[in-house]
A and B are shown apart, each in its own frame.
Chain A
């Protein structure tokens, strides 16, 4: 009891001698501050004439902040150091001076007041986003245009402009012409086709909505938010986008009309189909609802169908397929192989349509519609995987049904009529792959959209020959596989292996 009384007495007389810093530190460790930084998931997109990049934003006290080093690093020479309580940043010969928790800062000796305090945390200096333009303009000595609500920043006049024009020839479509090459992600949904521009400094037209006097494509809407710009084309029918070779023009129109445009013109080189070949394909549409067998449309006259191979790079856009490794997606591998196969087939004089030539999302039903409306004789879907080794060739897994006679085919089993020629195609490609010592396996698989294809149809799953997954991305391996497939298609076209 005696020491307690003495302690109380000491506390009464000498309260200032309690080691408060140590106590405060202990409390800080036990209860980390809740009000100060909370990690956000927002990004600022920055566009310059030379490059574009994104910087992650953070929320501090209800405001958006950006790391000043993250923002300036891609833009010029940068160095930073702590000088006592001051944080000094040097960018292209001009010095800035910040202090943790203070809104005032110095830029090239001039004092500036920011909208909110500067924060220095874990080696990162955070500046309020709303004060970034007055800071950057004198620093970069370039005009800075900032769309704060959309979190998009344009430096030194970086911009991609576009015009939209409704054309009626050779087909009804809207043609978008851009001032620079673009590579948007494209997604379709009922009544709308959306293009998302992440890297391109696409600027809005005036007005932001353009109406068209067209029965198919009714309007175009521009919208920007969260660091991206989006163009949406509204329509009463399914739309498809097609890029020009220089990627400065995108033609958007009804699926059937765009496919008709894309269909290769008959050339004198391809010989006529042999008598044993499968008949030209009717083009069944997808069912309105899945379980109900859908009515089909009448087949076009046989003479109207030129021989054509459809190469389908599976997946695309947000539908990435399998993640083959940390930085290798199935959709990218399939596109690479499909493009090579397209070139090899064209080189052999086989008119070929590549269903996906960029990173766009196409639904499974749309793929079948495109293949069927092109009246393809061969349909080849490209996949990639990591299980096993070599190349696997799949034909449709269909119940034992009697193939349809006459001009109509049911959507759900359109492939039944062509299953025999699909298996022949698979065998011919397997023979060519075996010639280059590739392990092959042929089997049936429940793999959409094979069942809906009205042509000889197979899916090819390309797998590395060994344990090295990166081989899938190797141009040599992709070309070896593509060349063997092309040889197999050419062989099937000549009548196939007896």
Chain B
């Protein structure tokens, strides 16, 4: 005859084991369904080094199909390439909130910016391009926003080339040309039609 307290103990242990098993299964299912968060999904923060400087950001607006200027104060590093990267990161951070006027994909970032003799080369990361929405206007707004913001804050830039992960690419997401250089004057003309002309 099995003592009653042993029966109760064993039953409790079995119940606990079953409950743990079910709980582990539920956890596993949740883990499988959760989105992969290998990329940074939070807005990138501007650097904190250097004195505060007034910068102009050209913000795209999907609903209006327009660009508009916003000024903000940023602490920027001394190196021009790092300054350009910091300005573009501040611009991208503006597109990261859910209620942004022109949402960019989670993890979108600028790997590097190189500036040589009036030419700026912007190297976007893979998440920026692969997760970008596809469409003529939506891609054009992104490109114009990047180029116009660079041109407004770095007057010596005459043309801009955009790479993705260090590689040339035909288009951003099927439409906007990334194979050729962007002429800053031509972009300024189009941006003007969209309400975002620069005085540069």
Which residues on A are within 8 Å of B, measured CB to CB?
Answer: 3, 6-7, 10, 14, 17, 19, 22-23, 25-26, 28-30, 32, 290, 315, 319, 321-323, 330, 364, 383, 385-388, 392, 394, 397-400, 412, 441, 443-448, 451, 459, 461
**Contact status B134-A321, CB under 8 Å:** yes
**Contact status B14-A22, CB under 8 Å:** yes
Q: Is B17 an interface residue (CB 8 A)?
A: yes
**Contact status A6-B137, CB under 8 Å:** no
Could you list 12 further interchain pairs (A-B, Cβ under 8 angstroms) beyond the known A385-B137, A387-B62? A3-B6, A17-B2, A26-B17, A30-B21, A290-B179, A322-B134, A397-B187, A398-B183, A399-B186, A443-B193, A446-B177, A451-B177
Please tell me which stretch of B45-53, B82-90, B109-117, B168-176 contacts chain A, meaning at least 4 of its Cβ atoms lie within 8 angstroms of it: B168-176
**Contact status B143-A446, CB under 8 Å:** yes
Across the interface, A383 reaches (CB within 8 A) one of B18, B136, B168, namely B136
Q: Is B180 an interface residue (CB 8 A)?
A: yes
CA A322 to CA B136, docked complex, whole Å: 9
**Contact status A23-B65, CB under 8 Å:** no
Known: A26-B18, A447-B136. A3 touches B3 (CB 8 A): yes
**Contact status B137-A392, CB under 8 Å:** yes
B164 partner residues in chain A, CB cutoff 8 A: none
Known: A29-B22, A392-B137, A398-B186. A10 touches B2 (CB 8 A): yes
**Contact status B65-A387, CB under 8 Å:** yes
B190 partner residues in chain A, CB cutoff 8 A: 397, 443-445
B20 partner residues in chain A, CB cutoff 8 A: 26, 30
A459 partner residues in chain B, CB cutoff 8 A: 136
Most chain B CB neighbours (cut-off 10 Å) among A323, A397, A441: A397
CA A323 to CA B138, docked complex, whole Å: 13
Q: Is B58 an interface residue (CB 8 A)?
A: no
CA A30 to CA B5, docked complex, whole Å: 26
In chain B, positions 1-22 with a C-beta closer than 8 Å to chain A are 2-3, 5-6, 10, 14, 17-18, 20-22
**Contact status B186-A397, CB under 8 Å:** yes
**Contact status B138-A387, CB under 8 Å:** yes
Mostly, the A contact residues are mixed
A17 partner residues in chain B, CB cutoff 8 A: 2
Which residues on B are within 8 Å of A, measured CB to CB?
Answer: 2-3, 5-6, 10, 14, 17-18, 20-22, 24-25, 62-63, 65, 133-138, 140, 143, 168, 170-171, 173-177, 179-180, 182-183, 185-187, 189-190, 193-194
B140 partner residues in chain A, CB cutoff 8 A: 445-447
B134 partner residues in chain A, CB cutoff 8 A: 321-323, 330
**Contact status B136-A394, CB under 8 Å:** yes
A3 partner residues in chain B, CB cutoff 8 A: 3, 5-6
**Contact status B185-A10, CB under 8 Å:** no
A398 partner residues in chain B, CB cutoff 8 A: 183, 186
A26 partner residues in chain B, CB cutoff 8 A: 14, 17-18, 20-21
**Contact status B174-A321, CB under 8 Å:** yes
**Contact status B174-A315, CB under 8 Å:** yes
CA A388 to CA B24, docked complex, whole Å: 47
**Contact status B24-A29, CB under 8 Å:** yes
**Contact status B18-A392, CB under 8 Å:** no
List 25 interface pairs A-B (beta carbons < 8 Å), by A numbering. A6-B3, A25-B21, A26-B20, A30-B21, A321-B174, A322-B174, A330-B134, A330-B174, A386-B135, A388-B137, A397-B186, A398-B186, A399-B186, A443-B190, A443-B194, A444-B190, A445-B137, A446-B140, A446-B180, A447-B136, A447-B140, A447-B177, A448-B170, A448-B171, A451-B180
Quick one: closest B residue to A384, CB to CB?
A: B135
**Contact status B174-A29, CB under 8 Å:** no
**Contact status B176-A446, CB under 8 Å:** yes
Closest CB in chain A relative to B52 CB, distance in Å: 34
CA A7 to CA B143, docked complex, whole Å: 75
B136 partner residues in chain A, CB cutoff 8 A: 383, 385, 392, 394, 445, 447, 459, 461
